[in-house]
Amino acid sequence: MIEIFGNSSYINSIKDVIKSALKHLSIPDRDVSVEIGFLDPIKMQELNKKARGIDRVTDVLSFPNLEFKLPYQKSDYEQFEFNPENNTLILGEIFICLEQAQAQALELEHSLESEVSFLALHGLLHLLGFDHENDEDSTKMNSIQDIILNNINMESYTPADVEEKKQADTILTGAVALIGMPNSGKSTLINALVGEKVSIVSHKPQTTRNEILGVMNIDGVAQIIFLDTPGMHSPRNELGKFMMRSVTSAIAGADIALYLVDAEKGLTNQDVSNISKLTKNKDIKVVIAVNKIDHITKPRLAEILTQLNDVKDVDHIIPISALRKRNLNELEKVLVKYLTPGPIQYDETQYTNRSMRFMASEVIREKTLQLLEGEVPFGIGVIINKYNERPNGIIDIDASIICQKDSHKPILIGKSGEMLKKIGTYARRDLEKMVDSKIFLTLFVKVREEWRDDASILNELGYLKME
């Protein structure tokens, strides 16, 4: 009997490791019971101080109920009280601090699931009389720990799975909508996961305006379809309304909502409200990624994770850095767990549904967002007038940059045309890398007063049709 108190996604993994340990030590699991609970860092520190006189947070604490001796013989414990409700011998209690476990998992570069399983096992071994007080005891405890951890398969998929899936011509698949506040790092993340630039990135909010699809293939086992979306905000014009409809449409087509919390900003009320709306939808799994952990301290991360523990019905929480590519393998494993078998949807070479024409307009817009300050870049749209590939592979692109006020035009062009030249050079370099051939890019600047509320220009820019 393993009784676990508290809400954690790791209950099944903990049960597996405990069962495996009891089996390995020839202790019938119906004979014994263990209680496991989760404590936040403050409570863990209090308990550590009270129980061991150590005034600091720790990962796991265990409280044996009796002096246990191996090998196990039921008759040895007849004098102890077996729990009358289920006739089990109570081994004791284990407390785990998930926030501390998360910090350790990041340091050891393995999953939180692996770390929690390890801590539960470590705690159980203490309940069973193992110790690490001296070298000899410590070696004994470590070796048994290693054997048991090897016995359980922590990977979410194995080489045997790969073969089975390949032969059946099916794959694990699912659509993941990337949701979050503007600037939380959604587009940086989709690019990192797909391994190609599918979505533009800038330090300014509301960079992404459309739903953008990126495909990730994993060893012939899984295909994850990511949908990048515009950051959630209250729309102030027709363009904003289109952007928010893209978010709703992405969620409607998704199996998993991957919500990004910007760790630099912390968990905001708006985040909590957005997440609660997602968790009300019982058709999708909700995974929260706390992004930009490279910019915050460990105690700050622990604080955010503690706050997130109070948000109900979330399927998984994982800290990451999309920019530094930290913990992305673990994120991948978490997502794979929620996929279902189905036919392959995209050819392995196809990593987005967007054309190079669309990418050209986006990359030009990205450069305006990166190079211009103030309100100018927010009112910019890009129309590709010509996209032509010559027989020798050279590509000619003519594009118009639309701005929404007369006063914006000279800013876009710059002194002696320098700004426009810079935008063109930077955009061309990026696009040449993407197509791997030479590009001739010609840019024009046009003013279209308040185009963000003008249906015909919005249509021309591709912001009215949902794809």
Ligand X SMILES: Nc1nc2c(ncn2[C@@H]2O[C@H](COP(=O)(O)OP(=O)(O)OP(=O)(O)O)[C@@H](O)[C@H]2O)c(=O)[nH]1
Q: Which of 294, 303, 315, 396 binds ligand X (CB under 6 A)?
A: 294
The least distance separating ligand X from the CB of residue 188, rounded to whole angstroms, comes to: 3
Task: Name the binder of 173 from Mg ion, ligand X, none, CB < 5-8 A by kind.
Answer: none
Does 279 sit near ligand X (CB under 6 A)? no
Of residues 306 through 335, those in contact with ligand X by CB under 6 A are 321-324
- Span of 12-20, 81-89, 180-188, 406-414 interacting with Mg ion by CB under 5 A: 180-188
The reply to whether 208 sits near Mg ion by the rule CB under 5 A is yes
Q: Which of 394, 379, 46, 341 is nearest to 172 (CA)?
A: 341
Q: Contact with ligand X (CB under 6 A): which of 33, 188, 223, 279?
A: 188
Compare residues 187 and 291 and give the one whose CB is closer to Mg ion. Answer: 187
Q: What share of the chain is helix, strand, coil (3-state, %, to 5)?
A: 45, 20, 35
> For residues 273 and 276, what is the distance between their CA atoms, to the nearest angstrom?
5
Which of these segments, 36-44, 117-125, 186-194, 411-419, binds Mg ion (CB under 5 A)?
186-194
* 262 sits in which H/E element: strand 256-262
Q: Per rule CB under 6 A, is residue 202 in the interface with ligand X?
A: yes
Name the 3-class secondary structure at 126.
helix
Residue number with the smallest Cβ distance to ligand X? 231
Q: How many CB atoms lie within 10 A of CB 209?
A: 21
Contact of residue 185 among Mg ion, ligand X, none (CB under 5-8 Å per partner type): ligand X
The dihedral through the CA atoms of 334, 340, 346, 347 has a sign that is: positive
Rounded CA separation 260/158 (Å): 29
- With CB under 5 to 8 Å by kind, the binding choice for 184 among ligand X, Mg ion, none is ligand X
Q: How is 3-70 classified by DSSP, letter by letter?
A: EEES--TTHHHHHHHHHHHHHHTT--TTTEEEEEEE--HHHHHHHHHHHHS--S--SEEEEESS---S
Nearest-approach distance from CB 187 to Mg ion, in angstroms: 3
Q: Are 326 and 294 in contact (CB under 8 A)?
A: yes
SS3 assignment, position 377: helix
Q: In this chain, which stretch among 8-16, 64-72, 207-215, 415-423 interacts with Mg ion, using CB under 5 A? A: 207-215
**Alpha carbon distance 130, 399 (integer Å):** 71
Residue with tokens 């991948």: 332
Contacts of ligand X in 204-233 (CB under 6 A): 205-208, 230-231
| 291 near Mg ion, rule: CB under 5 A | no
Stretch that binds Mg ion, among 201-209, 309-317, 371-379, 430-438 (CB under 5 A): 201-209
Lookup: tokens for 120: 């539960």
Residue 104 contacts ligand X per CB under 6 A: no
Quick check: 246 binds ligand X (CB under 6 A)? no
User: How many residues belong to the site for ligand X (CB under 6 A)?
Assistant: 25
The region of 55-63, 106-114, 203-211, 459-467 touching ligand X under the rule CB under 6 A is 203-211
- Nearest approach, Cβ of residue 263 and Mg ion (Å): 17
The nearer residue to Mg ion, 48 or 184, going by C-beta atoms, is 184
Q: Give bridge partners of residue 286 from the DSSP assignment.
A: 257
Residue 178 CB, shortest distance to ligand X, in Å, is 8
For residues 175 and 225, what is the distance between their CA atoms, to the nearest angstrom?
A: 5
Kindly state the number of chain residues that form the binding site for Mg ion, as judged by CB under 5 A: 4
Query: Identity (one letter) of the amino acid at 150?
Result: N
d(CA 77, CA 125): 18
CB of 451 vs Mg ion, minimal distance in Å = 21
Site for ligand X contains 291 (CB under 6 A): yes
Min. distance of Cβ 201 from ligand X in angstroms?
4
Q: Are 261 and 185 in contact (CB under 8 A)?
A: no
DSSP category for residue 317: E
Least distance in Å: CB of 134 to ligand X? 43
Interaction of residue 295 with ligand X, rule CB under 6 A: yes
Q: What is the DSSP letter of 286?
A: E
377 binds ligand X (CB under 6 A): no
Tokens of 368: 């305006």
What is the contact surface with ligand X in residues (CB under 6 A)? 180, 182-188, 201-203, 205-208, 230-231, 291-292, 294-295, 321-324
